[in-house]
Amino acid sequence: MSKIVLAIGGNAIIKEGQKGTIEEQKNNINESCEPVLGLIEQGHTVVITHGNGPQVGNTLIKGQMAESVVPVYPLDVCDAETQGNLGYLIQQAFRNKMVERNINKTVATVVTQAVVSKDDPAFDAPTKPIGPFYSKEEMEEILKNEKLTFIEDSGRGYRRVVASPKPIKIVEKDAIEALLEKDITVITAGGGGIPVVENNGMLEGTEAVIDKDFASALLAAEINADYLFILTGVEQVAIHFGTPQQQNLLEMTADDAIRYMEEGHFPKGSMGPKIEAAILFLQKGGKNVIITSIDKLQDAIEGKTGTRIVMSSEAADETSNLVTMS
């Protein structure tokens, strides 16, 4: 059977319009479990990664509001905190669902660090939105007391942005592989991993948030996964998105994806990073990437929907659908 890295977006855990209560997050995670369990029941080795954008933003807000009472945590520690919180919720949900379905498997969360370069240009140009949306007036009030960077986000208001450097190494890779060899379902690289820089072999946290799709692609390559699933808010990748000429894509090659990116079809603030992550995984030896929404996962597995990205058309011909993988 195949080894699959499956990346779930943070917005699938806190949906648009929700407050983000633990009960809401539990319900959303329970819904997300079902299609993934199908892969596990088929005998595939599944590694689950997840985003944490809404959660880490909320953690920062709590710290800021309580700073007169308790110390404010740096961003890397907030990343670690949300990794632990979400890992707990996800592993408990999967464990309970497995008991219900008589799947005899252990689920474990690995709090994961990802090495980034201290010279990454992202540190000079913050781009990663975190936390809630603010009105212009609210943003201006915050800026009176805080040296932060905000951007206007798709007409929905202003959001804080932080550096988002590219991950270059997953620190806990060997531990993850050891668990997989024991047939344990692993939840890891939450929120893209905790960003750390390495100096003379020593690790130190840094103020940043890593894109979870890049971290998932790097992890998938480092553990020699066969497939990378990127689950997002849309059923299929499209070109000419939102226009009368919109064309949904069932399959494309890495060269197609690069060409479409150059033509401007995949903006940096939405589908762009997912496509770049897909290309990264394929260039490092991966076979297939599938991008779809979590509710369409099973249909995407069967080739009915979703967008499959392969290195070349020859690779597509040589690779069978996931339902027949062995």
Residues with catalytic roles:
10-11, 128, 212, 274
What's at 17, amino acid-wise? Answer: G
Helix (H) or strand (E) holding 166: none
Strands 247-248, 128-134: pairing is unpaired
Strands 45-50, 167-170: pairing is unpaired
| Residue 234 burial (10 A CB sphere; 0-12, 13-18, 19+) | middle
In whole angstroms, what is the distance from residue 229 CA to residue 210 CA?
18
What's at 33, amino acid-wise? Answer: C
What's at 8, amino acid-wise? Answer: I
**For residues 52 and 191, is the Cβ–Cβ distance under 8 A?**
yes
In whole angstroms, what is the distance from residue 322 CA to residue 288 CA?
10
In whole angstroms, what is the distance from residue 15 CA to residue 13 CA?
6
**For residues 207 and 47, is the Cβ–Cβ distance under 8 A?**
no
In whole angstroms, what is the distance from residue 138 CA to residue 175 CA?
44
Quick one: tokens of 135?
């009105």
Q: Alpha carbon of 139 to those of 54, 73, 143: distances in Å?
A: 17, 21, 6
In whole angstroms, what is the distance from residue 133 CA to residue 115 CA?
29
Quick one: tokens of 202?
């020593």
In whole angstroms, what is the distance from residue 11 CA to residue 19 CA?
12
In whole angstroms, what is the distance from residue 113 CA to residue 195 CA?
6
Tell me the CA end-to-end span of the chain in Å, nearest whole number.
4
